[in-house]
Amino acid sequence: MQMQKGKVYLVGAGPGDGDLITVKGLEAIKRADVILYDRLINPTLLEHAHAGCEFIYCGKLPHRHFLKQEVINRLLVEKALEGKIVVRLKGGDPSIFGRVGEEALSVSEHGIEFEMVPGITSGIAAPLYAGIPVTHRDYAGSFAIVTAHDKTPNGKPDIDWQGLVNSVQTMAFYMGVKNLYYICENLINHGKSPDTPVILIQWGTWGRQKSVQGTLATIPQLAEQAQITNPAITLVGEVVAIREKISWFEKKALFGRQIMLVRTGTEESKLARELKEKGADVIEFPKWKKEKAAVDKNTIKNIDVYEKILFTSSEAVYDFFAILAENKIDVRSLRGVLYGLSSKTIRALESKGFASFLCTEMKQEGKLLIVGDNQIKEEEPLYTVQYGKCDLFITSKKTADTKFEDIMKRQLEEAQLDTLLFPSSYSVQVFLNEASKFGLESLVDNVKNVVSMGMKTKEMAEMYGIRTHRMPEKPTVESLIHCLASEKELMKI
* CATH for 37: 3.40.1010.10
For 332-350, what is each residue's pLDDT tens digit? Answer: 999 999 999 888 899 999 9
2 in any annotated domain: no
170 in any annotated domain: yes
| Shared-domain flag, residues 244 and 370 | no
| Shared-domain flag, residues 135 and 231 | yes
93 in any annotated domain: yes
| Shared-domain flag, residues 168 and 210 | yes
Concatenate the DSSP letters of all residues of 398-444 into one string: EEE-GGGHHHHHHHHHH----EEEE-SHHHHHHHHHHGGGGT-TTHH
| Shared-domain flag, residues 276 and 353 | no
pLDDT of residue 64: 54
Provide the domain limits for residue 176.
Answer: 124-251
| Shared-domain flag, residues 406 and 384 | no
Task: Look at 101-115, 146-160, 181-195, 223-237 and tell me which has the smallest mean pLDDT.
Answer: 146-160
Catalytic hit among 175, 289, 391, 448: 175
| Shared-domain flag, residues 282 and 296 | no
For 165-187, what is each residue's pLDDT tens digit? Answer: 999 999 999 988 999 999 999 99
Whether residue 90 lies in the annotated active site? no
pLDDT of residue 408: 86
| Shared-domain flag, residues 279 and 407 | yes
User: 63: phi > 0 → left, psi -120 to 50 → alpha, else beta; which?
Assistant: left
Distances (CA, A) of 177 to 51, 220, 228: 39, 8, 7
| Shared-domain flag, residues 115 and 227 | no
479 in any annotated domain: yes
For residues 423-434, average pLDDT: 88
Q: Pick from 120, 146, 177: which residue ends a domain?
A: 120
pLDDT of residue 385: 87
pLDDT value at 60 more than 80: no
348 in any annotated domain: yes
413 in any annotated domain: yes
37 phi and psi, to 5 degrees?
Answer: -125, 155
pTM, two decimals, is: 0.86
Whether residue 17 lies in the annotated active site? no
For residues 272-289, average pLDDT: 94
pLDDT of residue 488: 57
Q: How confident is the model at residue 433 (pLDDT cuts 50, 70, 90)?
A: confident
Q: What gap in Å lies between CA 156 and CA 180, rounded to an integer?
A: 10
19 in any annotated domain: yes
For residues 293-308, average pLDDT: 94
Q: What gap in Å lies between CA 460 and CA 417, rounded to an integer?
A: 22
For 83-123, what is each residue's pLDDT tens digit? Answer: 999 999 999 999 999 889 999 999 999 999 999 999 999 99
80 in any annotated domain: yes
Task: Look at 9-18, 121-130, 164-173, 484-493 and tell me which has the smallest mean pLDDT.
Answer: 484-493
Q: How confident is the model at residue 61 (pLDDT cuts 50, 70, 90)?
A: low
pLDDT of residue 382: 82
Catalytic hit among 5, 60, 178, 448: 60
Whether residue 38 lies in the annotated active site? yes
pLDDT of residue 146: 94
Q: Pick from 251, 279, 299: which residue ends a domain?
A: 251
Q: What gap in Å lies between CA 294 and CA 181, rounded to an integer?
A: 65
| Shared-domain flag, residues 23 and 94 | yes
Cβ-proximal residues to 214 (8 Å cutoff; 6+ apart), any chain: 197, 198, 199, 222, 223
204 in Cβ contact with 129 (< 8 Å): yes
Helices (runs of H) and strands (runs of E) counted in the chain? 20, 23
Indicate the average pLDDT of the chain. Answer: 91
For 447-467, what is each residue's pLDDT tens digit? Answer: 999 999 989 899 989 999 999
| Shared-domain flag, residues 16 and 133 | no
pLDDT of residue 489: 47
The CATH number linked to 325 is 3.40.50.10090
The CATH number linked to 221 is 3.30.950.10
pLDDT value at 446 more than 60: yes
Cβ-proximal residues to 352 (8 Å cutoff; 6+ apart), any chain: 317, 321, 331
The residue among 327, 465, 320, 332 whose CA lies nearest residue 396 is 320
pLDDT of residue 298: 94
**Number of separate domains in the chain:** 4
Catalytic hit among 17, 33, 38, 319: 38
% pLDDT > 90, the chain: 72
pLDDT of residue 493: 40
| Shared-domain flag, residues 362 and 420 | no
pLDDT of residue 491: 47
| Shared-domain flag, residues 375 and 301 | yes
pLDDT value at 150 more than 90: no
The residue among 9, 80, 88 whose CA lies nearest residue 55 is 88
pLDDT of residue 248: 96
Q: How confident is the model at residue 151 (pLDDT cuts 50, 70, 90)?
A: low
pLDDT value at 492 more than 50: no
Q: Pick from 398, 423, 450: which residue ends a domain?
A: 398
